[in-house]
Amino acid sequence: MDIKMLPVYFVIGGVVVSAATYFGSHEKSLLAAFIAFLPAMSVVIICSIYFASGTQAAVSYARGMLILLPPWVLYVLAVIFLLPRIGLAGSLIVGVAAYSGIAFLIIRLT
């Protein structure tokens, strides 16, 4: 990893989080979700992996993203279902725990 690129990664991540938070807090949740889902972060990560380790490592990372998509969907569903019932902290804890548990299980099985 090129340590000189860390400020670039930091700025990109900060811009994405700031923009998504701004629009989400101004009742433009679909635009906020669109910004959060822009592949900007994965483009930067895939490029970094590619330049550091080549095609196979970048393809392997992209495959890993797809393999871990189901646990991520479960995390989002848990937050959607539980947020109105048990609040922010509880829904995030349960969602992240569900994601982590299933993701680690998938990682161990592959």
φ, ψ for residue 43 (rounded to 5)? -65, -45
Q: Give the pLDDT confidence score for residue 98 in this predicted structure.
A: 97
Q: How far is residue 84's CA from residue 73's CA, in Å, rounded to a whole number?
A: 18
- Each domain of the chain, given as residue ranges in start order, spans 1-64, 68-110
Task: Write a three-state SS string for 20-53.
Answer: HHHHHHCCCHHHHHHHHHCCHHHHHHHHHHHHHH
Q: Give the pLDDT confidence score for residue 73 in this predicted structure.
A: 97
Q: Give the pLDDT confidence score for residue 8 in this predicted structure.
A: 85
Q: Give the pLDDT confidence score for residue 20 in this predicted structure.
A: 93
Q: Give the pLDDT confidence score for residue 69 in this predicted structure.
A: 96
Along the chain (110 residues), what's the average pLDDT of each consecutive run of 10 residues?
83 90 95 88 88 95 96 97 98 97 95
Q: Give the pLDDT confidence score for residue 9 in this predicted structure.
A: 82
Q: Give the pLDDT confidence score for residue 5 in this predicted structure.
A: 82
Close Cβ partners of 71 (under 8 Å, ≥ 6 residues apart): 98, 99, 102, 103, 106
> How many residues are given for the chain?
110
Q: Give the pLDDT confidence score for residue 45 in this predicted structure.
A: 87
